[in-house]
Structures are given as structure tokens and as C-alpha cells.
């Protein structure tokens, strides 16, 4: 790869709905740049960026994988991002490290759910865009319909730079609106034959060309004035206006083609170099380590180095591959830097550039360039590295909400031993996964952004670490409490000769206010139970309450008082009183109207207004309570409360009901009594499980 100054570097992501053709576009880019001699295909599992076993198996992108190619006088650093909804949090994270994006849409159905979401991400991050309408060779491809959908549904200024010649089986190429030339292709080489425009297209070409010139003129005051005065704009002025509009995000150029057959991809690459920003066009803000002071980072190779780890790949036989984007300075092998996120010193080892799964050694990285760092000790996802003389860092990234959980049940004791290590390593690679041992249900619970996300995670556990696990519905962390007050005796007596055991205590149990937990009270007077045995009584109470009396769930929001008792001067001991207290709780709790409590969640559901009625009806069917609604960013937010037990796989239902456009968050609110019908089922199931364990 050549050496490029920052103004000749482009750093961008390929984004769009799943199945829109992003990986095929990346494959064509590699081929066109001479980085590969043959284009792979997703269906064959031969592409350079979809090389993970899961991706080959599912025929979709799961990882965000970079390629770096030389094109004309520029270097394109391109990250091929997944398009399926479960992986959108990663896409958002990747986009933060980019300067721009190419929005790849399907010519048969352009404005799909994830098209809207990634466009929203780019709007939020103020990223300039180019749009590639791919799959023009597919049945039912319709460029005009796709363009209309994009404009209406996204409300964005999409303007064609070219229009297709034909569609579906008749797709032959495109007309460049700037040059008024027709370009037709006959194979997958990416080469086109230049010719005159067919007379049947002349009228539509002029209509689109005039719209393009008007959009270009409106981006620049001087050009606007010239245009309004009826003067013709030169080709150079039109190009200048287009770039100004793209950088200002008042214009999104649209290019038709086919990634699979490498049609129009060279035109796309040309226009990426012409119109999308270089690192020099965009500055970023960082903070001095440990301070609130902001620093503006300029894309200058001569400045102190600053880079950010935006992705971590984990590969067999290689280990961790931190992917870094450089913002300023030059990072070289052997350089000493500071990990400003962890205050750890690092020495940079080998640096490699990536063409998907292919690796090319590099001696250095400059502003805008992306590479992987090998054999570092302290680098993790989200870390910043900087020159010690300018220790700047990005603030820690906020992790997205998780929507769905599954419990892992290791097949053997050996699998249990390996599970923690496997979970730790995969969590480093995928920070959007949560994995923990539930203290109440004693299950390994893994949470993610959807069913595919969790399936992929579990498959990697099995394939990479050879851990056999069964996935099950997570148990609900119910609680037990009491509604009444009762008093009962707990007595433990074993005196059959020799040193015996004797403990005797009377316990009173009563409810506490919700959320208060547990309170133990010593009401013994007159030394009926010596003070040295009171802690043993409390311990016996606590341990027994932890197992409950209805269904084996912890009992909470109760006050237990030891009020009476007796002891034996010789046979009484801490163990005897602990056992007596346990017996006392088992006797008194059932007398105090015990009930089962379930966690209730605060839920915020964001949906298109058209889906409001269906979503609220479904939530009512889940024993939910609608608390209110409010408009937000063109959608409606439904605020509700619902039992956690009713929200298992809710994200699947929500996405199904909203065409993938709905999302939700939930947070624990409180515990409340389980209705009698549901409580009976929970208790019955708990007893069956206890019998099976016995």
C-alpha cells in the first residue's frame, strides 16, 4: 500500500439493511483496487470480509471488518458493517470512529427498517453520506421507486449522480449525469464501455441532471447567484457544489449498480474520493486524561499521536486483534505510547493492515488510517492511546440496552470450569453482551440485543472453546414475603447421652415496607438466651429466609424478632441455636400469610405511531400497565410497567409487530405480589424442580 497524506485518506463505513449487498460492494472494491484477483460470493462463503464460521454458516455479516485499498490518488479505509438489527449497536459504535458512510440500499426495497436506523445514526453523528442503490440486476429492481422511498421515508436530500440503464435482467449500466455519457458493462470486471445516451433516456437524463445542478448550486452562495441569473455552471463548479453540499449534509449523491456483478462500484469509489470528507475536513474533540478540559484533535501527521480502539477481533491462533483508527500523529512499530483509558504504558509491536481476512504488515499508521495491533498487554475495546506528552482520551462509551436473555446450563463439570474463561474472552470481543451469575437463581445468564446476537455468542462458546451448554429460559428472580404477623417456637434438642445439643427460641415475624429488605431484632430480656448465642439465631434466620418457604425463593421485606427462649448450661451451643432458629422460621413463616413477589419493570417502548394500538393491546395482555405516552423524534414512546416474567423474548414480538422499527428499554422498578393463578404455577414448578434435584 502507498503512503498518503491525510487529505488523500477516506475513512468510512458501508451501512444498510441486512441483505442490501454491502459485503458484495466491499468485495468488488477489493477486486477493483487489485487487492484480490477474484471476487468472492456471500452464498459461497468465499468473501474476504465474511470469513468467520458463523458468517459463512448463516450467509450474513456478523462482524464489522475493515478493508484498506488504494484507489486513484487516495486510500479508502472502509469498514463492512453488519445490517441485521441485533448488531446495530456495534454499527453505531463503528460509525463513531468513521468520517462518513456509504448507505447501501436494495433496489427492490430501499427504505427498510435498518436503513432508517443507520441513516438516523449518521444524522446523529453528522456524517456525510453517499448512497449506493445495489442489486439493480435483481428481479423487481426499480431505481425510481427506491429513490422515492428514500426521500419520503427518510426525509433526506437524495440526488442521483447517475441513473441506471435498464433494470433486473435488462440492467446494462448507467448514465453519468455530470458527463452525459452512457456506460455499459458485459461482465463482472467492473469495466464499462463509454457511449452516447440512448434517445429514449435523453429526457429523463435532463430532468435528473437539472435537479443535480440545482442541488449543487444551492450548496454555495456564489453558485446559487450564478444559477438564478441563468448562467450555466461549469463541470468544475458543479463538482465543487456537490462536494460542498455533501460535506454540509444538504445533499446525498445516489449511484445505481450491483455489488455482486461489480457494476457501478468503480463509479462509487470515484465519487467517494471526490465528495466524501478526508480526516482534514473533520476535527474531533477529546479530553485531557483525568480532566474535563477539551482538546481539539487535528488530522496532522506531525502532531503527537492519538488513536482509538473501535473494535476487537478475536481469532484462532492469533488471539486478540485490536482495530485502531488514528486521529492525529503517526503510530509506528516500536513506539512507546500511553493507554490513557487505563493509564498503562504500551510498546507498539507489529502493525497490520486488513483486507478482510488478509493481513499486510505495515510500519506505521497516519491520520484516518485503520489497522490492527498485535501482542499488546493492556489494550481493550474502547481504549484510547496517545503520546505521553499529550495524554488525551475519549470518554468511556455508553453501552446499549440489552433486550433478551438466555440461561446457560453447562453439560459437565468440566464445561462449568471452562465457562468463565470463555465468557470473559468473548465479552472482550463483544462488549454488547452481558454475562453474569444470577445470585438468586444461581444460573449463568447471558443478555444481548436479540435472538441472533445470543445464538451467535453461544455458537462461539461451543466452536472456539469447546464448551457444551444448553440454553434455557432464565428463571425469574422471585422473592417471598409475608402479609401478616405470627409467632412460633423453634426448638432443637438432642440429648441421648454424653454431650448433647439444645437450643430453644421463639420468633416473631412481621412484614416490612417494600424495599426495606430484612431486619433482625433482639427482644430477649433477663438472659433467657445468653447474648453470645443471639448472632447464631440471626444467622439461622438469615440462611433459612434465603431459601424461602413457598417456592424456594429468598424471603425479603420482613422483620424477625427473637422474643423468648431457653438454654442448657452444658448442651447449648451456637450450632444448636442456629438450628433452632431455622426450625423456628420454617414454623412461623407459613403462619404469617406468605406470598410470592415478582419483579416489575419500567418499560419504555418506542414505536411508529401507526403501531400504537397494537403495542398497547399486547402490553395489556402481558399484565402490563400503560402509564403514559409522549412523542419523540417522529415516533411515539409508550411508558408502561410490566412483570419481568411476561417480557421474555418481547423484543422478537415487538420487532415483528413493527416491521423491525420498534425498540424498548426496561429497568427494574419494584416487586409486587404475583396473582394467585400465576403464583400457583410458579410454586408447582418449583416443587417439581426440587423433587427432580432430590
CATH of the domain at 350: 2.40.30.10
**β-strands 558-566, 518-522 pairing:** parallel
pTM exceeds 0.95 for this model = no
The pLDDT of 261-278, averaged and rounded, is: 96
Does 320 reside within a domain?
Answer: yes
Compute the distance between CA of residue 46 and CA of residue 34 in angstroms, rounded to an integer. 17
Domain that holds residue 322: 284-393
CATH number at residue 141: 3.40.50.300
Shared-domain flag, residues 359 and 298: yes
For residue 45, being part of any structural domain is answered with yes
Residue 490 and residue 446 share a domain:
no
**CATH number of the domain that 622 lies in?**
3.30.70.240
Q: Structurally, how many domains does the chain consist of?
A: 5
pLDDT band for 400, please (50, 70, 90 cuts).
confident
pLDDT at 1 over 60: no
Over the Cα atoms of the chain, what is R_g? 32
The tens digit of pLDDT for each residue in 61-80 reads 888 999 999 999 999 999 99
Give the pLDDT band (50/70/90) at residue 497: low
Asked if 445 and 573 sit in the same domain, the reply is no
513/526 same-domain check:
yes
What pLDDT shows up at residue 375?
Answer: 81
The pLDDT, as a whole number, for residue 241 is 96
Q: What would the mean pLDDT of 363-386 be, rounded to a whole number?
A: 92
Task: Write down the pLDDT at residue 694.
Answer: 57
Residues 483 and 524 in one domain: yes
Give the DSSP per-residue string, 558-616. Answer: EEEEEEEEE--TTT--HHHHHHHHHHHHHHHGGGG-EEEEEEEEEEEEEE-GGGHHHHH
Residues 450 and 487 in one domain: no
Distance of CA 62 to the CA centre of its chain: 11
Question: Where is pLDDT greater, at 148 or 3?
Answer: 148
Same domain flag for 49 and 129: yes
Sign of CA dihedral 585, 590, 593, 594: positive
In a domain, 325, yes or no: yes
Is 418 a domain residue?
yes
Tens-place pLDDT, residues 651-691: 999 999 998 889 999 999 999 999 999 999 999 988 887 77
pLDDT band of 113, cuts 50, 70, 90: confident
Distance between CA atoms of 400 and 150, rounded to whole angstroms? 27
In a domain, 575, yes or no: yes
Segment 644-655 mean pLDDT = 95
Residues 36-54: pLDDT tens digits?
989 988 888 888 888 777 7
Res 57: pLDDT: 78
Sole residue written with cell 438564478? 228
Give me the pLDDT at residue 45, please. Answer: 85
The answer on 125 and 86 residing in a single domain is yes
Supply the pLDDT for residue 551. Answer: 92
pLDDT at 482: 96
pLDDT of residue 612: 93
182, with CB counted inside 10 A (0-12, 13-18, 19+), is buried
- pLDDT at residue 429 is higher than 90: no
CATH code of the domain covering residue 453: 3.30.70.870
Do both 11 and 153 map to the same domain? yes
Closest CA to 12 of 259, 234, 269, 215: 269
Residue 85 and residue 113 share a domain: yes
Distance between CA atoms of residues 434 and 453, nearest Å = 11
Q: Looking at the structure, tell me whether residues 536 and 563 fall in a common domain.
A: yes
At which of 350, 366, 393 does a domain end? 393
Confidence of residue 190 (pLDDT cuts 50, 70, 90): confident
Question: 250 falls in which pLDDT band (50, 70, 90)?
Answer: very high
Amino acid at each position: 500500500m502507498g503512503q498518503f497524506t491525510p487529505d488523500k485518506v477516506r475513512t468510512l463505513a458501508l451501512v444498510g439493511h441486512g441483505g442490501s449487498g454491502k459485503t458484495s460492494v466491499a468485495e468488488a472494491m477489493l477486486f477493483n483496487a487489485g487487492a484480490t484477483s477474484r471476487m468472492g460470493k456471500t452464498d459461497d462463503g468465499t468473501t474476504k470480509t465474511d470469513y468467520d464460521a458463523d458468517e459463512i454458516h448463516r450467509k450474513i455479516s456478523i462482524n464489522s471488518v475493515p478493508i484498506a485499498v488504494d484507489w486513484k490518488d487516495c486510500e479508502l479505509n472502509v469498514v463492512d458493517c453488519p445490517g441485521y438489527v441485533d448488531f446495530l449497536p456495534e454499527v453505531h459504535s463503528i460509525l463513531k470512529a468513521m468520517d462518513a458512510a456509504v448507505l447501501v440500499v436494495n433496489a427492490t426495497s430501499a427504505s427498510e427498517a435498518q436503513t432508517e436506523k443507520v441513516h438516523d445514526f449518521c444524522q446523529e453523528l453528522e456524517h456525510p453520506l453517499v448512497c449506493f442503490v445495489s442489486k439493480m440486476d435483481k428481479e423487481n429492481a426499480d431505481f425510481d421507486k427506491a429513490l422515492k422511498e428514500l426521500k419520503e421515508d427518510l426525509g433526506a436530500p437524495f440526488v442521483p449522480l447517475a441513473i441506471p440503464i435498464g433494470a433486473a435482467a435488462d440492467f446494462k449500466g448507467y448514465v453519468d449525469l455530470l458527463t452525459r455519457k452512457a456506460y455499459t458493462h458485459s461482465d463482472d470486471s467492473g469495466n464499462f464501455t463509454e457511449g452516447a445516451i440512448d434517445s429514449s433516456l435523453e429526457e429523463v437524463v435532463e430532468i435528473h441532471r437539472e435537479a443535480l445542478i440545482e442541488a449543487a448550486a444551492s450548496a454555495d452562495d456564489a453558485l446559487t447567484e450564478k444559477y438564478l441569473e441563468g448562467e450555466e455552471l461549469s463541470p468544475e463548479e458543479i463538482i465543487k457544489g456537490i462536494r460542498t453540499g455533501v460535506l454540509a449534509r444538504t445533499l446525498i449523491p445516489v449511484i445505481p449498480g450491483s455489488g455482486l456483478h461489480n457494476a457501478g462500484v468503480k463509479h462509487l469509489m470515484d465519487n467517494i474520493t471526490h465528495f466524501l470528507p478526508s480526516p482534514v475536513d473533520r476535527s474531533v474533540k477529546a479530553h485531557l486524561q483525568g480532566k474535563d478540559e477539551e482538546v481539539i484533535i487535528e488530522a496532522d501527521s506531525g502532531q503527537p499521536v492519538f488513536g482509538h480502539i473501535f473494535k476487537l477481533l478475536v481469532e484462532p491462533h492469533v488471539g486478540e486483534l485490536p482495530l485502531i483508527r488514528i486521529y492525529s500523529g503517526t503510530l509506528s512499530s516500536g513506539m512507546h505510547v500511553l493507554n490513557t483509558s487505563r493509564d498503562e504504558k504500551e510498546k507498539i509491536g507489529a502493525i497490520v493492515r486488513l483486507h478482510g481476512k488478509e493481513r499486510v504488515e505495515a510500519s506505521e499508521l497516519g491520520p484516518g488510517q485503520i489497522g490492527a495491533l498485535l501482542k499488546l498487554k493492556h489494550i481493550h475495546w474502547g481504549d484510547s492511546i496517545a503520546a505521553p506528552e499529550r495524554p488525551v482520551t475519549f470518554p468511556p462509551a455508553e453501552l446499549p440496552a440489552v433486550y433478551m436473555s438466555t440461561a446457560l446450563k453447562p453439560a459437565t463439570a468440566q464445561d462449568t470450569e471452562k465457562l468463565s474463561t470463555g465468557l470473559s474472552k468473548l465479552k472482550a470481543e463483544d462488549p454488547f453482551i452481558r454475562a453474569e451469575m444470577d445470585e438468586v437463581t444461581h444460573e449463568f445468564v447471558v443478555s444481548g440485543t436479540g435472538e441472533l446476537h445470543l445464538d451467535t455468542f453461544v455458537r462461539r462458546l461451543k466452536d472456539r472453546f469447546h464448551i457444551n451448554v444448553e440454553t434455557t429460559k432464565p428463571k425469574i428472580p422471585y422473592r417471598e414475603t409475608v402479609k401478616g404477623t405470627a409467632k412460633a417456637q423453634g426448638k432443637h434438642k438432642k440429648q441421648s447421652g454424653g454431650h448433647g445439643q439444645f437450643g430453644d427460641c421463639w420468633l416473631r415475624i412481621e412484614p416490612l415496607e417494600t424495599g426495606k429488605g430484612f431486619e433482625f431484632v433482639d427482644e430477649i430480656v433477663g438472659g433467657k438466651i445468653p447474648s453470645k448465642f443471639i448472632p447464631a439465631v440471626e444467622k439461622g434466620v438469615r440462611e433459612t429466609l434465603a431459601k424461602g418457604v413457598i417456592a424456594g425463593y429468598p424471603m425479603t421485606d420482613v422483620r424477625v424478632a427473637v422474643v423468648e427462649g431457653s438454654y442448657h448450661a452444658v448442651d447449648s451451643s451456637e450450632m444448636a441455636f442456629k438450628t433452632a432458629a431455622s426450625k423456628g422460621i420454617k414454623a412461623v413463616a407459613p403462619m404469617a400469610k406468605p406470598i410470592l413477589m415478582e419483579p416489575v419493570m419500567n418499560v419504555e417502548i418506542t414505536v411508529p405511531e401507526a403501531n400504537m394500538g397494537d403495542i398497547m393491546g399486547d402490553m395489556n395482555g402481558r399484565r402490563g400497565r400503560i402509564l403514559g405516552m409522549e412523542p419523540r423524534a417522529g415516533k411515539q414512546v409508550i411508558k408502561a410497567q410490566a412483570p419481568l416474567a411476561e417480557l421474555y423474548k418481547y423484543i422478537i414480538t415487538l420487532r415483528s409487530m413493527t416491521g423491525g422499527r420498534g425498540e424498548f428499554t426496561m429497568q427494574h422498578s419494584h416487586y409486587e405480589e404475583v396473582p394467585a393463578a400465576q403464583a400457583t404455577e410458579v410454586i408447582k414448578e418449583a416443587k417439581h424442580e426440587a423433587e427432580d434435584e432430590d
